[in-house]
Amino acid sequence: MIRFLSALLLLWNSCALADVGPKVALALGGGAALGFSHIGVLQVLEEEGLKPDLVVGTSMGSIVGGYYSAGMPLDSIRLEADRLNIFRMIDWKIGSKGFFEWKKVRKRLEKRLDGLRIEGLPMEYVAVATDLYSGERVMLRDGELIPAMLASATIPGLYQPLEVQGRTLVDGGMVDDVPVLSAIDAGAEVVIAVDVSHPLISEDIRTPFDVMRQAFFIIQHHNVNHRRELADVVIRPDLDDMEYHHFSKVEEAIAAGRAATRAALPAIRAALKDKTRTTPSETGRHHE
Q: How far is CA 20 from the centre of its chain?
A: 24
- Provide CB contacts within 8 A for 76, sequence distance 6+: 67, 112
Active-site residue identified among 37, 62, 69, 171? 171
Phi-psi region of 135 (alpha: psi -120 to 50; beta: other; left: phi over 0): left
The closest alpha carbon to 52, from 191, 178, 187, 233, belongs to 191
Residue 185 annotated among the catalytic residues of the structure: no
| Single-letter code of the amino acid located at 253 | A
Residue 6 annotated among the catalytic residues of the structure: no
Roughly how many angstroms between the first and final C-alpha of the chain, as a whole number?
23
Active-site residue identified among 59, 62, 69, 152? 59
b/e sequence 261-288, b meaning 16+ C-beta within 10 Å: beebeeebeebbeeeeeeebbeebeeee
What one-character DSSP code corresponds to residue 214?
Answer: H
b/e sequence 81-102, b meaning 16+ C-beta within 10 Å: beebbbeebbeeeeeeebebbb
Question: Could you write out the DSSP letters of every residue in 62-83?
Answer: HHHHHHHHTT--HHHHHHHHHH
Q: State the catalytic residues.
A: 59, 171
